[in-house]
């Protein structure tokens, strides 16, 4: 792995907290991701399923974890099953973890191979009353593809139909929403590198270059800083593209007088940052662009104050939408009369702000957590108001990552420029150095 190895105690503690949530007599089973074929004999870059990584730290495919804290057999309380070491596989595909290496990474004392899984599972199931199974499904964008976790769960259910099965996802969501000090440290590092990426983009941006050139610069910078890469497909959206919420083709030429909406984040040790900024391609906002940018920035400043224990994402959304509605009236996009006449299920502001303004952040850029769960210290969420005026080719989003604490919100990206004057001044200074 590119980043420095994480302490095994982190995963030992995660499994302990998970075990504490299991009812007596329960066994929990987890399976790692498989490699995803790309073409021919090639695979996409492997990325471990987040729950499995959270519990083990293992970055190898097709491993299986058994957690059975109340097992009468002490050797079955925690067991990790990995591939049998193969000299041929090592030659063709690279290093395969040994059992000793897997123990060192995960802190699991009992590491066996796949060949020993069936017998161990039968022993565990003979004592277990409940089975917590991992039924992770791919997002709706991949309806024809079933995840390894879903296939594994179906196989276990078929072999042992008489057991009481429960989902492990609610327990892991409860744990993963609140980050440990170690996890917050990893997110801080991801935010630090992401800030360097934004500075690099400001340094390079000029009319006539391609969006993908900026993406390439970010990729290089993230790699040199020992990151996994991007935490998600980066959005480098200039001109009209800035009004496409999930634009990611990044193939157009940057226009001279247009805006450039950036949404990207470095992934460090599988923990992702999430930053959005909007900058003028020329280095200077036009009057109208500045007017719209300052409106979003005002709302951003007020929105961050809402990130306190006890509040919810749903409440934050409602409050920020109301703030943005007022700003939109001030920008002349619609009138107070239009608001009074609007259909309750079709608010007029939705034409210019179509998305929510907060989500949990962690091992996944859209991390686990309900928008109705009360915020608690240790949670990390995004704050991202936006404004999209398609008729004017103005798309603006400002987003930072906020840590919830008992002493008020902590902006993990406070070091990254956000004021329009500062952005213009930095872009001007970089321009003079070319």
In this structure, are 107 and 158 located in the same domain? yes
In this structure, are 172 and 201 located in the same domain? no
Instruction: Name the pLDDT band for 270 (thresholds 50, 70, 90).
Output: very high
Q: Which of 123, 152, 176 is the last residue of a domain?
A: 176
Instruction: Name the pLDDT band for 14 (thresholds 50, 70, 90).
Output: very high
The stretch 303-323 carries a mean pLDDT of 98
**pLDDT at residue 121, as a whole number:** 96
**pLDDT at residue 1, as a whole number:** 56
**pLDDT at residue 5, as a whole number:** 78
**pLDDT at residue 137, as a whole number:** 66
Asked if residue 227 has pLDDT above 90, the reply is yes
Looking only at the bridges linking them, the beta strands covering 64-67 and 380-383 are unpaired
In this structure, are 171 and 202 located in the same domain? no
Helix ranges (DSSP H) in 331-382:
336-341
Q: Which of 153, 176, 199 is the last residue of a domain?
A: 176
In this structure, are 42 and 88 located in the same domain? yes
Residue 418 lies in a domain: yes
How many residues are present in the chain?
Answer: 434
pLDDT tens digits, 172-219: 999 999 999 999 999 999 999 999 999 999 999 999 999 999 999 999
Q: Rounded to an integer, what distance in angstroms lies between the CA atom of residue 197 and that of residue 193?
A: 6
Number of structural domains found in the chain: 2
- Answer yes or no: are the C-beta atoms of 389 and 292 closer than 8 Å: yes
In this structure, are 215 and 328 located in the same domain? yes
Paired tokens of 41: 């004999």
- Answer yes or no: are the C-beta atoms of 123 and 72 closer than 8 Å: no
- Looking up tokens 């950036």 gives 262
pTM: 0.94
Residue 404, C-beta contacts closer than 8 angstroms, at least 6 positions apart? 307, 308, 309, 375, 376, 377, 378, 379, 380, 381
In this structure, are 242 and 379 located in the same domain? yes
In this structure, are 195 and 256 located in the same domain? yes
Residue 309, C-beta contacts closer than 8 angstroms, at least 6 positions apart? 374, 375, 376, 377, 404, 406
Asked if residue 86 has pLDDT above 90, the reply is no
Asked if residue 18 has pLDDT above 80, the reply is yes
pLDDT tens digits, 325-372: 999 999 999 999 999 999 999 999 999 999 999 999 999 999 999 999
Q: Rounded to an integer, what distance in angstroms lies between the CA atom of residue 106 and that of residue 346?
A: 50
At residue 275, φ and ψ (nearest 5 deg) are -120, 140
**pLDDT at residue 144, as a whole number:** 56
Instruction: Name the pLDDT band for 146 (thresholds 50, 70, 90).
Output: confident
**pLDDT at residue 215, as a whole number:** 98
Asked if residue 232 has pLDDT above 80, the reply is yes
In this structure, are 282 and 310 located in the same domain? yes
Paired tokens of 156: 């276990």
DSSP reduced 3-state for 360: strand
Q: What is the DSSP letter of 334?
A: S
Which residue, among 27, 58, 63, 61, has the nearest Cα to 45 in the 3D structure?
61
What is the DSSP track for 218-252? HHHHHHHTT--EESS--EEEEGGGGG-TT-----S
Asked if residue 141 has pLDDT above 70, the reply is no
Cross-strand bridge partners of residue 399: 276
Give me the CATH number covering residue 43.
3.40.350.10
pLDDT tens digits, 285-305: 999 999 999 999 999 999 999
Q: Which of 127, 156, 176 is the last residue of a domain?
A: 176
Instruction: Name the pLDDT band for 39 (thresholds 50, 70, 90).
Output: confident
In this structure, are 378 and 233 located in the same domain? yes
Mean pLDDT across the chain:
94
In this structure, are 160 and 185 located in the same domain? no
Residue 106 lies in a domain: yes
Degrees (nearest 5) of the Cα angle 86, 89, 93? 145
In this structure, are 301 and 418 located in the same domain? yes
pLDDT tens digits, 383-414: 999 999 999 999 999 999 999 999 999 999 99
In this structure, are 236 and 108 located in the same domain? no
**pLDDT at residue 2, as a whole number:** 63
Residue 2 lies in a domain: no
Domain that holds residue 280: 181-433
Measured torsion, CA atoms of residues 142, 145, 149, 152, in degrees rounded to the nearest 10? 160
């Amino acid at each position: 792995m590119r980043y420095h190895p994480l302490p095994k105690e982190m995963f030992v503690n995660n499994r302990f907290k998970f075990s504490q949530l299991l009812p007596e007599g329960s066994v929990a089973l987890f399976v790692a991701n498989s490699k995803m074929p790309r073409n021919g004999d090639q695979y996409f870059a492997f990325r471990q399923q987040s729950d499995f990584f959270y519990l083990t730290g293992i970055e190898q495919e097709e491993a299986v974890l058994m957690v059975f804290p109340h097992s009468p057999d002490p050797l079955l309380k925690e067991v990790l099953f990995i591939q049998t070491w193969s000299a041929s596989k090592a030659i063709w595909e690279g290093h395969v973890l040994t059992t000793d290496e897997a123990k060192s990474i995960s802190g699991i004392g009992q590491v066996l191979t796949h060949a020993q899984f069936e017998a161990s599972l039968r022993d565990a199931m003979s004592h277990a009353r409940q089975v917590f199974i991992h039924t992770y499904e791919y997002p709706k964008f991949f309806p024809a593809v079933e995840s390894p976790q879903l296939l594994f769960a179906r196989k276990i259910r078929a072999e042992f139909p008489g057991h009481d099965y429960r989902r492990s996802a609610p327990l892991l969501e409860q744990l993963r929403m609140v980050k440990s000090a170690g996890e917050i440290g990893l997110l801080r590092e991801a935010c630090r590198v992401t800030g360097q990426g934004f500075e690099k983009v400001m340094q390079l941006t000029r009319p006539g270059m391609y969006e993908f050139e900026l993406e390439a610069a970010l990729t290089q910078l993230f790699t040199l800083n020992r990151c996994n890469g991007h935490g998600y497909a980066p959005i480098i959206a200039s001109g009209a593209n800035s009004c496409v919420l999930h634009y990611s083709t990044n193939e157009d030429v940057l226009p001279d007088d247009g805006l450039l909406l950036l949404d990207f984040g470095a992934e460090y040790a599988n923990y992702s940052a999430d930053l959005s900024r909007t900058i003028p391609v020329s280095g200077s906002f036009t009057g109208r662009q500045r007017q719209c940018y300052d409106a979003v920035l005002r709302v951003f400043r007020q929105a961050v104050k809402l990130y306190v224990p006890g509040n919810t994402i749903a409440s934050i959304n409602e409050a920020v939408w109301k703030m943005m509605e007022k700003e939109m009236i001030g920008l002349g996009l619609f009138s107070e009369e239009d608001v009074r006449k609007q259909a309750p299920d079709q608010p007029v502001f939705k034409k210019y702000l179509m998305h929510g303004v907060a989500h949990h952040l962690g091992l996944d850029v859209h991390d686990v957590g309900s928008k109705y769960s009360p915020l608690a210290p240790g949670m990390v969420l995004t704050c991202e108001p936006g404004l999209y005026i398609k008729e004017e080719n103005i798309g603006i989003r400002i987003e930072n990552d906020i840590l919830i604490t008992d002493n008020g919100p902590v902006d993990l990206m406070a070091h990254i420029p956000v004021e329009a004057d500062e952005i213009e001044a930095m872009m001007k200074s970089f321009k003079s150095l070319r």
